[in-house]
Amino acid sequence: MTINHHLDEATLFSYVAGAMGQGLALVVASHLAICDSCRQRARELEAIGGALLENIALAAVSENTLKSVLDRLDQGGTSEIAVRPLPVSGSEVPAPLAGYVGDSLDDLSWKKLVPGIWMHDLPNQGKGMTRLLRVTPGKAASPHSHRGSELTLLLRGSYSDEVGRFMPGDIADLDDQITHQPLVDSDHDCICLIATEYPLRYTTLFGKVTQPLFGF
């Protein structure tokens, strides 16, 4: 699997720091389970965070704190630091997500939202929404922006928007600066896992009524 779109630094940091809602954290964990590159960056951030904490604790007793911390990192201390989600699932469902929905996206109960779009809601993940979305090829979303963060992990198919083209394994890490209009451009259904921190900002009645995450 070639992954072209990754988590940004701020998102990884808040995940590693445990400062993220459960829904967003599930999407991050699912991407980390299949992305060596982001997993490595998460480990590095954890190491830095751990070193800073130790630095503070040791500063009271040693002037050589920084050196000792760096020595420990040089000795491979980072390998002891675990980034939470780990087992890599062989299927198209990353292991952390499989804990909620099982291994098969086809066996899920999909609820029709509007023609061409189905959803499968995950159990309440705190503020915001977390769901799987299944969209028919050629379906375009309404342009929309966000009040908070939105993370979208592609599981099957592909879509394109102002940011680029997204294939399985890619993650769209959007903040409230971005307005986008995803268009499914694969020849089969596109399925993605989406979490938002807050409901999207819709300007049309249709948008408000359908309460979408993908914007339709």
Contacts with Zn ion by CB under 5 A lie at: 6, 35, 37-38
Which residues face 117 on adjacent strands?
114, 135
For Zn ion, the closer of residues 169 and 182 by Cβ is 169
Kindly state the smallest distance separating residue 38's Cβ from Zn ion, in Å: 3
Residue 5 beta carbon to Zn ion: minimum distance, rounded to whole angstroms: 8
Q: Name the residue with tokens 């040089």.
A: 74
Candidates 82, 83, 81; CA nearest to 31 is 83
Smallest distance, Zn ion to C-beta of residue 195, A: 16
Question: Whole-angstrom Cα distance, residue 48 to residue 116?
Answer: 45
Q: 170 or 189: whose CB is closer to Zn ion?
A: 170
* Shorter beta-carbon distance to Zn ion: residue 4 or 203: 4
Q: Do the beta carbons of residue 42 and residue 16 sit within 8 Å?
A: yes
CA pair distance 46, 183, nearest whole angstrom = 36
Q: How far is the CB of 198 from Zn ion (least distance, A)?
A: 24
**Which is nearest to 85 in space by CA: 34, 156, 44?**
34
Question: Please, which residue, 35 or 190, has the CB nearer to Zn ion?
Answer: 35
Minimum Å gap between C-beta 123 and Zn ion is 25
Query: Which residue, 6 or 43, has its beta carbon nearer to Zn ion?
Result: 6
- The Cα–Cα gap between 129 and 122 comes to 8
Please enumerate in sequence order all residues whose Cβ is within 8 A of that of 81, keeping only pairs 6 or more positions apart, or say none.
43, 46, 47, 50
Between 37 and 91, CB nearer to Zn ion: 37
Determine the residue type at 44: E
The CB-based long-range contact list for 170-173 (8 Å cut-off, 24+ gap) reads: 170/3, 170/4, 170/5, 171/3, 171/5, 171/6, 171/7, 171/27, 171/31, 171/35, 172/5, 173/5, 173/6, 173/7, 173/8, 173/11, 173/149
Least distance (Å) between residue 10 CB and Zn ion: 14
